[in-house]
Amino acid sequence: MIEKINEYIKEQTCASICCIDEEQRPYCFNCFYAYNSKEHLLYYKSGKETTHSAIILKNDVVAGTILPDKLNKLHIQGVQFEGEVLAPEHPRTKNAAAFYYKKNPLAVAMPGEIWTIQINGIKLTDSSIGFGKKITWERDEQPATI
C-alpha cells in the first residue's frame, strides 16, 4: 500500500462506517479505531447488541470515511474505503484485541468486542500534494470470506 495512505490512517483516530441492512438501506456509525498497516486491517470495538453489529452479522460488506482529527478548511484531506468485516474465527483477527488496546488502552474498561475490517480498497484525497489529488490502493487478493 502506498505509504502516504498508511501514515494518514495511522495518524487519525475516528472513522465513520456504513453498512447496508436487509432492505438495502444504509446505516452509518462512528468509532475509534486502530490500524494495522501491514495487513491493511482496521479494528474497532462495539457491542453485538448494536444496530450496526446486527446488520454486519448478516451482511459483512462496509464502506467508510476517515477525516482528519483536526479539520483544516484550506487543506482538504480524507480517506474513503471499502472492505468487509471478518468473522471472529478468521485467522487475520488473531491479534485484533492486542492491537486495538495498544492504541486505545482505556477501552479495556468498556464493554464490547473487537471487530476487524479487512480494507479492500482506499482512496486518499490530499490537497497538500495538489488540488483534488487522489491516491488509490486496492487489495490484490480475493476477499477474505471463509
Give dist(CA 112, CA 46) in Å, integer: 5
Q: For every one of its 146 residues, what pLDDT tens digit does the chain have, with 9 covering 90 and above?
A: 589 999 999 999 999 999 999 999 999 999 999 999 999 999 999 999 999 999 999 999 999 999 998 888 778 889 999 999 999 999 999 999 999 999 999 999 999 999 999 999 999 998 777 777 889 999 986 544 43
Give dist(CA 83, CA 42) in Å, integer: 10
Pairing of strands 77-85, 113-126: antiparallel
DSSP string for 4-40 = HHHHHHHH--EEEEEEE-TTS-EEEEEEEEEEETTTT
The pTM of this model reads 0.90
DSSP for residue 95? T
Kindly report the CATH class assigned to 3-138.
mainly beta
**Domains of the chain, residue spans:** 3-138
